Amino acid sequence: MVEQKIAAVVVTYNRRDYLKQCLSALDRQSQRPDLLLVVDNSSTDGTPEVLAGLAYPGLEVHRLSTNTGGAGGFAFGIEKALEAGADWIWLMDDDAEPTPDCLEQLWKARAMVGEKVLCPLIVGESGPQFYHHKLVDPVTLLERESESIPTEPVHIHANAFVGPLFPAELARRHGLPCAKYFIWCDDLEYTYRISERGANIILVPSARILHHDKAASAADTAPWKYYYYYRNRCDFIVRHALPEHLARCKAGHLRRARKQAWRWFLERKFSYFYIPLLGILHYRLQRWGKVYDAKSFR
């Protein structure tokens, strides 16, 4: 049997302490990745100095000149993994910490289910983060989360960029994540795409990855980030809606954007009530990449 080369791709921005935990966890894997590719999105918190002091086998650091967001960082990292000749690619945010046997358990599942997208169970401080494991309605393209921990590997339709392992061939066949998204929906769109509309993506409950993510619900999400959600989801709908359901999906998305805007208006949040509709407008104008940040809406 030909040995398979596995590249772990970690995207980081201004979270050096979490990044150190992530890389240490990757180095301690019972089945260790061959390459540790770190994409630094132009961090300003001393991350480059931290990375310069590390000497893990297979560590390769790429510092980008500007912050391209998670979407741009993962697109860049996957491209570098392909150039390095990786057979499998393992993605994760810098605040992810795989348990010591995480990759080993994913690899064992591969022997059972085949060459698919394999996802570890994502666990936060308060328990499993089911909202990162998505089931997508093929008609409406609306997502709902997996509701309980399965005892055996099960099909899901999409997954966060927190631990999915997939054959490099899928990236060669289906391309890279949408770097133009900057943040939000990039992981949904990409895992749905490379798993061929959710047909080949498996949640492996025996594989665990800790996620130091504070945003556990919509209420915890900064309002400015919704701009990217409403803009990028327009593109997701156009890419993946079945032709006979495209108009329905678009109408539903616009309706939800209006509802969110009206809710914020009634709450007298006048500094950002218009964000959802602005995102949809900018999709129509094809305005991509980083447009707004936390300082944009007061």
Q: 213 or 102, which is more confident?
A: 102
Has residue 1 got a pLDDT over 50?
no
Reference 73, options 154, 175, 186, 172; nearest CA is 186
Q: What are residue 239's phi and psi, to 5 degrees?
A: -70, -35
Sheet with 143-145: strands ordered across = 143-145, 133-136, 158-159
Q: What is the residue extent of each domain of the chain?
A: 6-211, 222-284
Reference 203, options 102, 91, 98, 119; nearest CA is 119
CATH architecture of 6-211: Alpha-Beta Complex (3.90)
Percent of all residues in the chain with a pLDDT value above 90, rounded to a whole number: 86
Look at 170-174, 242-246, 250-254, 271-275 and tell me which has the smallest mean pLDDT. Answer: 271-275
Has residue 31 got a pLDDT over 60?
yes
pLDDT tens-digit readout, 214-225: 655 555 678 899
pLDDT tens-digit readout, 110-138: 999 989 999 999 999 889 999 999 999 99
Reference 81, options 21, 200, 170; nearest CA is 170
pLDDT tens-digit readout, 270-296: 989 999 999 999 999 999 999 998 888
Percent of all residues in the chain with a pLDDT value above 70, rounded to a whole number: 97
Average confidence score pLDDT of the chain: 94
